[in-house]
Chain A
Amino acid sequence: MPHLALESVSLRYDGGAPVLSNVSLDIASGEFVVVVGRSGCGKTSLLNLAAGFLHPTSGRVLVDDRPVAGPGAERAVVFQNDALFPWLSTAENVAFAARLAGASAAERRLQADRALEIVGLAGLGDRPVWQLSGGQRQRVGLARALAAEPDFLLMDEPLGALDAMTRETLQDLLLQTWGRNRAGTLLITHGVEEALYLATQIIVMAPGPGRIIRRLDVDFGRRRLAGESARSIKASPAFVEAREDLLDSIFEREAA
């Protein structure tokens, strides 16, 4: 089973203070790991290490027990500011991995249409991406990652720049796609409710230097996938309690 691991990873930029200190984490297929923490706690650096955009100062990043040398197509990334290619149509954006691999136009189109259907954008393949709304662009970013059929999906605050309502719709979309393809997922967020709603495991980080201060397992996402409504989950006493508990851990340091 595909398996992504960070083993006692530390990160420090030349001459600077340490960004991450002794971080270990483990993502297997079918897991949805969400990292929460205040800004400056190294969440994004953590994701960049997992993606292979950064290399750890010490420690190891492993995929199936092999050290990661750089980015790879088995670890697709969804970015906060979508990072789409405006010179390509929506469909060509989605099929970008296939384009790089030299797939024919017909193959690319087929793949793009399939992925666009999954993210609810069927029929928009010919649109220029710069004509899409923010929420649609994030869906395209997700479709592009899914089309590469990755073992792992790494998402850096993908819903951070969206309005509250679009965000809730896309949270459900993330849950559904994860429920279907079971790719091992790492999501960075600063939204506590988002973390609880989506995660199978939540990792709480604290700054100065960035480190993991807490891990907890949750199952609200599975309840959602089992058919319970989002409202009833988010209003349930267990959810509210977990949210307050989580907020306490995030802001613990500040109170002390």
Chain B
Amino acid sequence: MSLDLADTALGRPRAAEQSETEPSTTRKRPVVAITATLTIIALLLAWTVAAHFKLVSALFLPSPFEAGRAFLRVASEGFVDATLWQHLSASLGRVFAALVATTLIAVPIGFSIGASPIGRGIFDPIIEFLRPIPPLAYLPLVIIWFGIGEPSKVLIIGISMLAPIVISTASGVKGVDTDRVNAARSLGATRAQLVRHVVLPSALPSILTGIRIALGVGWSTLVAAELVAASRGLGFMIQSAAQFLVTDVVLMGILVIAAVAVALEAVLRWIERRLVPWAGKA
């Protein structure tokens, strides 16, 4: 913090004026990366030390090495009748099924909220109602209505993804540059062409951001969804392990869920850079 102040505000006022934020952010990046790495190392070290000196019982806190061994064991032999890869692909399959279905529903809803007052009147209350409800709260109702099959699990994840995509799509549609719309109209665009050639591409960066956020939300809903009579999945694996106090598998499962979340985020950001390289630049 003090370093930032010295750099931008006091230390080099001229340079800061000339090129806005560029020099300070490029110099900040390695600092952030180094600090972040050190934090992770410190946490791992604290965990190792606590486990090694039995500050916490091994039953509650296995060492990082045990979690690592659990990873190798579950990856090769499996846990509760499925390998780690099978658990992972079951979970990913549910989240992606939910993502595809929800995107197909949420983008048109977002369009109608962003483009028409009537659409907004119809859908806004529904979305605002659904948005703050934690997935565990509607879980029992979904089971009553739809049973304990695969669709229920996908539905629970899907509901949690709905609001982020709808809201970002709507804000993308609302934020379409009036001049661009007018430019297209003056070049002869019909209403349908406006939507296809101007509104949709304009809103695409927002839609992708919504999908990225939704994927994060959906992934974190996974454990709740797999409470429902699952026989595979990372969430199911963690719960089964917890019932038998196999804490190393629980810990390993949590770490895998976190790692996959980071990987998904990175993939989505890569897709955004490829699909909408202009976002924020024009």
A interface with B by C-beta (< 8 Å): 51-53, 70-73, 75-77, 79, 81, 83-87, 96-97, 99-101, 128-130, 144, 148
Other CB < 8 Å A-B pairs besides A51-B182, A71-B185, A100-B190, 4 of them?
A: A72-B188, A76-B186, A87-B201, A99-B197
Check A130–B282 contact: CB distance below 8 A.
yes
Check B188–A97 contact: CB distance below 8 A.
yes
Residues of B within 8 Å of A129, CB to CB, are 278, 282
Please name 28 pairs of A and B residues whose Cβ atoms are closer than 8 Å in the assembled complex, sorted by A.
Answer: A51-B182, A53-B182, A53-B185, A70-B185, A71-B186, A73-B186, A75-B186, A76-B186, A77-B186, A81-B179, A83-B177, A83-B180, A83-B183, A84-B180, A84-B282, A85-B184, A85-B197, A85-B201, A87-B276, A96-B187, A96-B197, A99-B197, A100-B190, A100-B197, A129-B282, A130-B278, A130-B282, A148-B187
The smallest beta-carbon distance between B63 and chain A, in angstroms, is: 51
Is the CB of B11 closer than 8 A to any CB of chain A? no
Instruction: Map CB proximity to A onto B247-282 as digits: 1 under 8 Å, 0 otherwise.
Output: 000000000000000000000000000001110011
Q: Which of A75, A76, A87 has the most CB of B within 10 A?
A: A87
Task: Report the Cα distance A81→B179, complex, angstroms.
Answer: 8
B interface with A by C-beta (< 8 Å): 177, 179-180, 182-190, 193, 197-198, 201, 204, 276-278, 281-282
Contacts A86-B281, A87-B201, A130-B281; is A71 near B182 (CB within 8 Å)? Answer: yes
Residues of A within 8 Å of B188, CB to CB, are 72-73, 97, 100-101, 148
Task: Report the Cα distance A126→B183, complex, angstroms.
Answer: 21
Residues of B within 8 Å of A97, CB to CB, are 187-188
Check B282–A100 contact: CB distance below 8 A.
no
Residues of A within 8 Å of B184, CB to CB, are 85, 96, 100
Q: Which 6 A-B pairs have the closest CB atoms?
A: A86-B278, A83-B179, A86-B282, A130-B282, A97-B187, A73-B188
The smallest beta-carbon distance between B208 and chain A, in angstroms, is: 12
